[in-house]
Amino acid sequence: MYAIVEIAGQQFKVSKDRKIFVHRQEGEEGGKLSFDKVYLIDDDNDVKVGTPTVEGAMVNASIVSHVRGDKVLIFKKKRRKGYQKQTGHRQDFTQILIESITI
């Protein structure tokens, strides 16, 4: 059984007992989250597609940890002008564990 769910503006394919990284969510480690924007549920040959969401479907998860991603370097240069600029960015993520998918 799996579901397509929207979490923080992005769509993820989730299934029970799967850990995924999503954009930073509010809450402490060990806290509970629930998501109701479920677009599709596949339950062993029984596919339910929402219009736009599946009515009454919920995905429950718990927060495992808050982490930061790898550093992404941004380098800008204009040739023959003596202009160079380098900056970096690290995205904040939350690792969540999918506990249940209910219809």
Tens digits of per-residue pLDDT, 21-60? 999 999 999 999 999 999 999 998 899 999 999 999 999 9
Q: How many CB atoms lie within 10 A of CB 16?
A: 14
Distance CA 15, CA 9 (A): 19
Q: What is the CA radius of gyration of the chain?
A: 19
Tens digits of per-residue pLDDT, 69-84? 999 999 999 999 999 9
Residue numbers of the domain that contains 56 = 2-102
Q: How many domains does the chain have?
A: 1
In DSSP notation, the chain reads: -EEEEEETTEEEEEETT-EEEEE--SS-TT-EEEE--EEEEE-SS-EEE-SSS-TT-EEEEEEEEEEE---EEEEEEETTTTEEEEEEE--EEEEEEEEEEE-
Place of tokens 């549920």: 41
